Amino acid sequence: MNEAGGAPALLVIGIGNPSRGDDALGPLLIERLETLRLPDVELLTDFQLQVEYALDLRGRGQVVFVDASLEAPAPFTFNPVVAVADASYSSHELSPGAVLHAYEKLFGEPPPAFVLAIRGEAFELGDDLSATARANLEAALAFMSQRFSDTLP
């Protein structure tokens, strides 16, 4: 909670399936961030985004969605995400843009949001985390740690 008693200013959502090798990068980053005990930051993790996450965005100053990616250049990308009614909007799994779109429909302008896409290479059921993904995770953790120190009071 922030000083005013509302939701923490920063929400970080790690997305991924820990049983699918490098797909675990989102939840693993959340685990690592939890050890830092960051003030005014809420950390969540799930297998996939659902429309209900729009409710978690209320009262936030910023949101970061963390996910593994086969397309992102190594070690990761960090890009703004905008509200968009994409094809995922009507499915059981939403993109970050579709979550922002749902928020926009319910409450108005969504908070600034970003996607941290960590490069992975092994996503099969039962795969271990690859050495490449492990190195990319460390780079993403260093980036996020620096970002928190730059943006938090």
In a 3-state reduction of DSSP, which class is residue 37?
A: coil
CATH number, domain at 41? Answer: 3.40.50.1450
Whether 152 maps to a domain, the answer reads: no
The pLDDT tens digits for 37-46 are: 888 899 999 9
Residues in the chain: 153
The pLDDT tens digits for 47-104 are: 999 989 999 999 999 999 999 999 999 999 999 999 998 765 544 578 999 999 999 9
pLDDT band at 147 (very low <50, low <70, confident <90, very high): confident
Distances (CA, A) of 27 to 34, 47, 85, 147: 11, 9, 26, 18
CB count in 10 Å sphere of residue 55: 12
Q: Whole-model pTM?
A: 0.90
Whether 153 maps to a domain, the answer reads: no
Whether 58 maps to a domain, the answer reads: yes
